[in-house]
Amino acid sequence: MGSIILTSHLLPQVNAKALEVLADIIPLIPQSLEPVLGELLPSLSLSLTSKNASIRQIAGDAATLLATMAEPNHVTRLLASTVKNASAAVQAALLPMFAENVPAAYARNPRLLSRYVIPTAVAVLDNPKYRDSNGAIWQSLIDCLGPELFEDKALQKASVQKSVRALLA
């Protein structure tokens, strides 16, 4: 996993090549991703916000592979933490991946949704920049949990429920 450091290289061609190699390696070692997820996802997050379109595309492909190949339990926790603590640009880049991860997290352990996904989705709920991504997250949550979603402790405030229902409408 020496390419973790290279994915933030200043030369775009080096960064792109490192991301391509990373995308090639991820499917070969899915069981070995867990120890490096904490370093890998933040590194990819920076590339997801690159000004270089090809780097953004390759980083997006690598991040999607990472999210689908790694253990949903670890990906969900790491995505939640990264989204909560990231800049607006990184949040915008990661929220679609977070939404795509909801069904896998639910299949692995439904408690992951109430522990990580719902609180993170509530934290970014009222930001108009993320309306589409938020809608996708909440739609995935309602698809998995049904009406029980609104019984979650993070959704006890009427204003939060109102905002969520507006996104789902």
Residues 55 and 99 placed together within one structural domain of the fold: no
Does residue 82 belong to any structural domain of this protein?
no
CB atoms within 10 A of CB 49: 18
- Tell me which residue range forms the domain holding 5: 1-70
Kindly report, residue by residue over 122-167, the tens digit of the pLDDT: 998 888 888 888 899 999 999 999 999 999 999 989 999 999 998 8
For residue 3, what pLDDT is reported? 43
- The CA-based angle 147-153-159, given to 5 degrees, is 80
Phi/psi of residue 118, each to 5°?
Answer: -60, -50
Report the number of distinct structural domains present in the chain.
Answer: 2
Does residue 123 belong to any structural domain of this protein?
yes
Kindly report, residue by residue over 80-137, the tens digit of the pLDDT: 988 888 888 888 888 888 898 999 999 999 999 999 999 999 998 888 888 888 899 9
Calculate the dihedral angle through the C-alpha atoms of 135, 141, 144, 147, rounding to the nearest 10 degrees.
-100
Kindly report, residue by residue over 26-48, the tens digit of the pLDDT: 888 877 888 888 888 878 888 88
Predicted TM-score (pTM) of the model is 0.81
Phi/psi of residue 77, each to 5°?
Answer: -60, -45
Does residue 13 belong to any structural domain of this protein?
yes
Does residue 42 belong to any structural domain of this protein?
yes
Residues 122 and 58 placed together within one structural domain of the fold: no
For residue 10, what pLDDT is reported? 65
